[in-house]
Amino acid sequence: MIVAFTKDWDDVPTCTTHVLREMAKTMPVLWVSSIGTRKPSAASGKDLRRIVGRIRSGLKRAEWKENSLRVLKPILIPKAETAFAKWLNRKLFAWYVRREKRDMERGGQGPTVSHLKPESIEFWCFVPNAVDLLPRTKEGSVPCIVYYCADDWGQFHNLDGAWMDAKERELVQRADVVLVTSRFLERKLSGFRSHPSSLSPSPIHYLPHGVEYARFSQALDKSQPIPADVAGLPKPVIGFYGNLHPWVDLDVVAFLAASRAQWSFVLIGEIYTNLDSLESLPNVHLLGRREHCDLHTYCRAFDVAIIPYDMSNPRMESVNPVKTKELLGAGLPIVASEVPELRNYGDDVLTCEGNDAWLSALDRQVARRDQTAISERVRNESWENKVATIRRIVDDG
């Protein structure tokens, strides 16, 4: 059984979603929704509504979603820092796990599972502060601990970076298996492993993301319908999807759209930043959020995809965008910022710096006519294959 500390189930799918959904095809997974990486603000209506919702949901049992995956929304003290608060959270969470374990064994929601021994439980941490909820049992009976790191947590602008780094160092030193999605994170966490107090000297495993290849390769079938909100846009169509946060370089998008006024630029994603520079451009189409299961249909309308991140944001050095292989699986050539993890795709992903370089790279990719070949190059990078590799790493310890 996997107990996974991660984000909210209804949030935009990321690597967490893909890995755990795949794992749940063969073993029970208890998805633990956000455990709180910051203290809520009493002045924030959104935070207060979230607290009320969490209290209500925390009284309920985990909700079955699919296969052997259940979602738990526990009531815990967010960003617990005192010894008492951490102790209380650990006791509360241990009760939640015991309750859900009994429910699974008795045939509650979802498939019934056979008797689960404590040592058969794996704790998967996708956020560093999960370390405070891990059981403190005697050496030799501690369940397997996996840290799956896909972000440089200390660099998030809305989090306490020093606190997150301290939690991450503690977690890396306790984990039996550490998986990272970028070379930057591999270097950073390897430094934590070399600490004299490290209890687990096993190596850091670099494992880039997979792709739902069967889904995204459907974009190559141009006989299938294109969503009505992008059908008929002037060609070529330059596409982006992902939440529009401050780390998306909207200035370069505005420059490209102004420089190629006859082209169409489509941006899909929830808006978390000011878009004044784009809203006045008639060839920029801001669609808002679309569900992940529909994104491949939008890719069918795109001719080229862009990944424009603001490289002045230090977090961008560590990222490995999940969307990259999705777009490639859809047969789309990409133009991207100088994200280190995007420099190894040859001509399929052209990374660039500066407006002129962006414009030149975009012109090159628009002229491409080898979409099928682009897609084929990521065929073997499926999430099924990635998770099979992860499973072997974890089982080997």
Same domain, 369 and 239: yes
pLDDT at 139 over 50: no
Angle at 228 between CA 226 and CA 234, to 5 degrees: 80
- For the chain, the straight-line distance linking the first and the last C-alpha, in angstroms and rounded, comes to 16
Classify residue 31 by burial, with Cβ atoms within 10 Å: 0-12, 13-18, 19+.
buried
pLDDT at 198 over 60: no
- Crossing angle of helices 355-366 and 250-259, in 10° steps, is 60
For residue 5, the model assigns a pLDDT of 97
What does the mean pLDDT of the chain come to?
90
Number of domains the chain is built from = 2
Same domain, 261 and 238: yes
Same domain, 159 and 292: no
Same domain, 217 and 174: no
Same domain, 204 and 217: no
pLDDT at 240 over 90: yes
What domain range is 254 assigned to? 213-379
pLDDT at 367 over 60: yes
Q: What is the pLDDT of residues 72-88, one digit of tens each?
A: 999 898 888 899 999 99
Tell me the average pLDDT across 374-397.
95
Same domain, 160 and 219: no
pLDDT at 71 over 70: yes
The CATH number of whichever domain residue 277 belongs to comes to: 3.40.50.2000
Residue 152 CB neighbours (<10 A) = 21
pLDDT at 157 over 80: yes
Residue 187 CB neighbours (<10 A) = 13
Strand order in the sheet with 177-180: 63-66, 69-72, 29-32, 2-5, 122-125, 144-149, 177-180, 204-206
Same domain, 177 and 240: no
Same domain, 50 and 61: yes
Same domain, 81 and 228: no
Same domain, 143 and 205: yes
Q: What is the pLDDT of residues 266-281, one digit of tens each?
A: 999 999 999 999 999 9
Same domain, 66 and 191: yes
Longest dimension (CA), the chain: 67
Same domain, 176 and 238: no
Q: What band does 111 get if pLDDT is binned at 50, 70 and 90?
A: confident
Angle at 198 between CA 194 and CA 201, to 5 degrees: 70
C-alpha span between 342 and 100 (Å, rounded): 41
CA dihedral 139, 140, 144, 149 (to 10 degrees): 40
